Structure 1
Amino acid sequence: MSIFPDDIAALAQKMISHGTARGEMVSTAESCTGGLIAGALTEIAGSSAVVDRGFVTYTNEAKADMLGVQDKTLETFGAVSKETALQMVQGALLRSRASHAVAVTGIAGPGGGSDTKPVGLVHLAAMSRNGAILHREMRYGDIGRDQVRLATVKTALEMLLDVSGAK
């Protein structure tokens, strides 16, 4: 039994099975989910063959130091932006042995939102070493911190499956 909802556990299982079959590894770069994506993946037995590493980069400094997100990107677009998510996923691939990576940055709430960046806004990016790259801007709404984070994990796993060719 997983600590995650069945839909998330099933997606994680599919990613681990796919990665195992193809000998491919994944990495995660997480802000608003605080490691939950890596947690969902490592909940699956055998995940050590697929999960290379996870970066939890909650602050702007961590995003810059650990993933190479440019200060100018953070100043111009903010931590919660398409540009930041894309630089996070690129950094996660460059700083790992992974074939595929996923990155998330958003506002889980209950506070921290604004008119232009409301609670529930999350930018996600997934990328493969073969050049495939995806971005999604999700507006989950002010559905509660836990629900925003779980919805983000589900979307991130779906994107990881898409970019890895597993879907």
Structure 2
Amino acid sequence: MTDQTQANNDPYYALPEVPGFELRSSTVADRTPFAPAQYSGVFGVPGGQDISPELTWSGFPDETRSFIVTVFDPDAPTGSGFWHWAVGNIPVSTTHLVENAGSETQELLPAGAFAFPNDAGLARYIGAAPPAGSGVHRYYITVSALDVARLELDAGASPAFLGFNAGPHTIARATLVAYAGE
């Protein structure tokens, strides 16, 4: 790994380049720490509430037919990172997810969209919980624009399998990076 981007473990480094678009959040700004609410109470982080961030996006290609949203920590000490949230089949008419759309009930997701089980095995957002001594972790909050209206995947599919199937259909991508840890 001589290329600095690859050395930094950018999860999109090896994927085909696609255009970007704008992703904003009233909950977290790019390259800033998560608030306590975005940490994991499920994993016992004091003050953690497992509340997914509010997200708004715009400027995606006209050919967009749907979106997926993911939150991934490439710095988790697992050898494969940690998927915190993955939502598929978000209609093209949806350009905003309210804070806590990643709740266990999924009732705040748009009709037809659903969460896949994260790496904790839960079909919901699981907040940041970097283990003590593992340093600062980056959380890639990503909205991908797809050229298909839906991906025909079982609700039990993994986020990695979602990404594998979304890959050939991804026509644009927007990412914010949040931080957590020491």
TM-score range normalised by the length of the shorter chain: 0.3 to 0.5
Structure 1-normalised TM-score?
Answer: 0.34
Taking structure 2 as the reference length, what is the TM-score of the superposition? 0.32
Larger relative contact order (CA 8 Å, sep ≥ 6) = 2
Per residue, is there more strand in 1 or in 2?
Answer: 2
More helix by share: 1
